[in-house]
Structure formats: structure tokens, C-alpha cells
Amino acid sequence: MPLFLADAWHQCPFEYFREGVEIYRIFSGAPELALLRYAPGASVPRHLHTGVETILVLEGSQSDEYGHYGPGSLVVNPAGSVHSVSSQEGCVVLIQWTSPVQIL
């Protein structure tokens, strides 16, 4: 994937993940690596991280209880952390997680 960051990810075949959010799985296993594409106004309810989650915002922006993150933002959510995520304008993020989240 040498051109991945040069917008080649726009061509990835995304599929349904949850209401308003699509996923393209780059690597399934532990850790998992994927792209998430949020539609404008989409959100993920409050959840607990059972492992470490790392997010790089590629396009658009997303917010949680701790801040607002635009393109180039790197967010690390440690194991045991809790938050909800929303994207008013829509966004695409590169996400890596070591274990699944638990919806609260």
C-alpha cells in the first residue's frame, strides 16, 4: 500500500459497521487495524476501552468528551478509558485497537 496516505484509501471498499459508520478492515487480528468512515452527524455511544485504541484523523473531524480532533490529530485512548464519539461534519480515521470496546 505505498500510496495509502496519498488518498488511495478513498478507493477502499468500505462496509457497514454501525449506523452511520462504515469500516474497511486493513488487518484483522490483534491488534486490529482499519479505516472508519463516519457520515455527517454519526456517533458511537459511550463505550469502555478494554485495550489501547489509537486514532489518526485523516479527513474531517470527530469529537468526544475530551476534545475536538481535526485532520492530522492523533488520539490515544488507554485501556480502561470511557468516552463517546461523534462527527458533526463526517470524518475518516485510521484506527488501531488491541481488543474490542464494550458499549455501555
| Arithmetic mean of pLDDT, 78-100 | 96
| Arithmetic mean of pLDDT, 27-37 | 92
pLDDT band per the 50, 70, 90 thresholds, residue 86:
very high
Beta bridge partners of 92: 37, 59
Sequence-ordered list of residues with C-beta below 8 angstroms from that of 78, at least 6 positions apart, any chain: 49, 52
10 three-class SS: helix
| Arithmetic mean of pLDDT, 49-76 | 96
pTM of the entire predicted model: 0.92
Interatomic CA distance for residues 67 and 4, integer angstroms: 27
Residue linked to cell 469500516: 23
**CATH topology for 19-103?**
Jelly Rolls (2.60.120)
pLDDT band per the 50, 70, 90 thresholds, residue 4:
low
Interatomic CA distance for residues 1 and 65, integer angstroms: 34
Q: What is the pLDDT of residue 8?
A: 78
